[in-house]
Structure 1
Amino acid sequence: MTKILITGATGNVGTEVIKSLQNIDHQLDIYAGVRNSNEDRIKLANFKVKFSLFDFTDFKTYNTALDGCDILFLLRPPQISEVEKYFKPIIDTCKKKGVKHIVFLSVQGVEKSKIIPHHKIEKLIVDSKIPYTFLRPAYFMQNFTTTLHDDLVNKKLIYLPAGKAKFTLIDVRDIGSVSATILTKTSQHINKSYELTCKEKLTFSEMARILSDILGTDIKYKSPNLISFFLTKRKEKTPTMLILVMIMLHYFPRFQQEPQITDWIEKISNKQPTTFEQFATDNKKLLTK
């Protein structure tokens, strides 16, 4: 049986990958890489998975988790940016253990931006000569249920230095669906890279209007200058590293070419990508409390 290790298994993307794999007929032995097996077993109790202790910050767990692993689904936790320290040992262990394929959750536009960690991780994987598939998703719609949630619910506000930049978007559920399809057919996706987007480009002003209509409340969008944004977020006790990531995600696109819309979700998973309107409708309760 082909053994697959899913890293970040209890996060937004990892859970959706596991959920989507339940809906596909396959002969895979799925292992959820988890840090706290008791808590994480409860989170994943409804899925057919085995558990493997895997902690990005604990090098000792790499060896046992990757032992006998054929395919690795790899992502980068937001708090880990030191590629040489953490990801090089993971890739080296993959080579040592004979991992046959790595599916890596990267980011849209990664090939043009050498400063982001994903660029370095992709290069490590390519240099390792292990067959790979790079998934390069657009802006997560689920940022509104996580990072942006407090401002949205408590202040009815989207507060980001994004100006009038247009963003392509993706629902994490679609990433899960595409990932699961690829994991069951890796031989068809060797050394391929896919940008994953829905079929619309929106500014945050337009997203605010859609959210206002669906949630039945007036959501404002405010684009502060960088100093105001940084100081406001520090006052809210947001970690400095997360603020810098938010600036990179939202401010830099103002000076870059508009990202392209692709049809890879439809081609790979054989279904239409979720619209932002549908995402907001499906998550109405979560977006109002």
Structure 2
Amino acid sequence: MRSDAVFVTGATGIVGSAVVDHLLERGEPVVAGVRTEADAAQLPRGIRHRHFDFGMPAHRLDAVLDGCDRLFLMRPPPIADVERYLFPLIDAAMRRGIRQIVFLSLQGVQANRSTPHHVERYLREVDAPFTFLRPNFFMQNLATTYRDDIRDHDEIFVPAGRSRTAFIDARDIGRVAAAVFTVPGHLRAAYTLSGEQSLTYRRVARILSDVLGREIRYARPSEREYLARLAAYGAPEDYLAVQRMIHRVVRWNVSALPNRAVRRLTGRPATTFAEFAARERAAWER
């Protein structure tokens, strides 16, 4: 088997599927890690795939990476114990002489001790050939996490105050990943990925109103109101704690600064929120 494929974890997820698509556009061989045959059915026709689970025994991980010389690594949101579940895959990659690991990290991770921070630190400790992608808040959050409030109640219900966010399209993250995998010069580099616009949620609501042809409001709830609604929906306490932290960061405008990293790394500008909303409008249509 050729040994020049990219092994992609999370290959059917929002970011992983974009990585797969953009690698294929560049003519790169891909091996997708999937948990089930149902997941495999979501992949582009003809793509190679093999069973992979972060919980599989360490001795099987070398075989998982057979034929691959690069690895796209992302942490599934439910996994908090990265030492148990992600480090063994990194170790296997190092044993096999993987020449590049692109890790999907988090904006600002270098300034806190969140889970992605631990992965970045370990990749440095083992002298891995890493590239860190540190994206801002995904535009896709509006079409997934906050979709129902927009679709069913015509409102964006997040405690962001008057803050701004330079949202990024996850498809652009996939485009960047494909670029840094296929163009030299990105080893041991870290890139903060933001959109080129800094938007308030009031502005986001106006854009959605224009695209959908009905008024979408930014409700601007307090943190207490937001967390109370999540609790009423049955959200567990640890999820509430994460949401509290995330939106405090938003209100501090940590995520407000736009940049041109997507344009610089891929040669094309980042997707605007209006372009994203037009593309994904079905998510909010009734």
Q: Distance in 2 between matches of 1:99 and 1:280?
A: 38
Task: Say if 1:101 and 1:240 are closer, same or farther in 2 by CA, change over 3 A.
Answer: same
Q: What SS class does the counterpart of residue 133 from structure 1 fall into?
A: strand
Deviates more, 1:100-109 or 1:4-13: 100-109
The equivalent of 1:128 in structure 2 is 126
User: Is contact 2:165-2:257 (8 Å) kept?
Assistant: no
Whether the aligned pair in 2 keeps the contact of 1:107 and 1:138 (CA below 8 Å) is yes
Report the counterpart of residue 168 of structure 2 in structure 1. Answer: 170
Query: Is structure 2 residue 28 aligned with structure 1 residue 31?
Result: no
2:258 to 258, 261, 264: 261
Give 1:257 deviation, angstroms.
Answer: 4.3
The residue type equivalent to 2:267 in the other structure is N
SS where residue 135 of structure 1 aligns? strand
Distance 1:172 1:58 in 2: 27
Moved more, 92-101 or 264-273: 92-101
Match of 2:277 in 1: 280
Change (3 A) 1:31 1:240: farther
1:103 alignment partner in structure 2: 102
In the other structure, the counterpart of 1:21 is 23
| Alpha-carbon distance in 1 for matches of 2:85, 2:24 | 30
Counterpart CA distance in 2 for 1:29 and 1:258 is 34
Gaps spanning 5+ residues in structure 2: where? none
Contact 1:161 1:247 in 2 (8 A): no
Structure-2 residue corresponding to 1:243: 240
Query: Number of residue pairs matched?
Result: 283
Map 1:133-282 to 2 at 5 A.
133-185=131-183, 187-255=184-252, 257=254, 259-282=256-279
Distance in 2, Cα, partners of 1:63 & 1:223: 49
Distance 1:257 1:72 in 2: 29
2: distance between equivalents of 1:247 and 1:167?
17
Q: Deviations over 1:4-44 (max 9, x none)?
A: 1100000011111111122113xx431001100x2122101
| Corresponding residue of 1:65 | 64
The answer (yes or no) to whether the contact 1:214–1:280 under 8 Å persists in 2 is yes
Contiguous gaps of at least 5 residues in structure 1 = none
CA pair 55-240 structure 1, distance change in 2 beyond 3 A: farther
> Residue 5 of structure 1 aligns with which residue?
7
Query: How far apart, CA to CA, are the structure 1 residues paired with 2:262 and 2:146?
Result: 25
- Change in 2 beyond 3 A, CA 1:223/1:43: same
Alignment identity in percent? Answer: 35
> 1: distance between equivalents of 2:193 and 2:272?
13
Deviation at 1:68, TM superposition (A): 4.4
User: Cα offset for 1:239?
Assistant: 4.0
Contact 2:164 2:253 in 1 (8 A): no
**For residues 65 and 241 of structure 1, what CA distance do their matches in structure 2 show?**
32
Kept after mapping to 1: 8 A contact 2:249/2:255? no
TM-score by length of 2: 0.92
Matched residue type, 1:210: I
Which region of structure 1 is more displaced relative to structure 2, 221-230 or 150-159? 221-230
Amino acid at match of 1:177: R
When the two chains are superposed, the root-mean-square deviation of aligned CA atoms in Å is 1.9
Q: Supply the AA of the counterpart residue of 2:182.
A: T
**CA deviation digits over 1:46-85, x for unaligned, max 9?**
3x42112111233355333124431110111111122222
**Superposed displacement of residue 230, structure 1:** 2.0
CA gap of 1:20–1:45, structure 2 versus 1, over 3 A, is closer
Q: Give runs of ≥4 in structure 1 deviating > 6 Å.
A: none
TM-score where L is the length of structure 1: 0.91
**Distance in 1 (alpha carbons) for counterparts of 2:56 and 2:245:** 28
CA contact (8 A) 2:100 2:181 kept: no
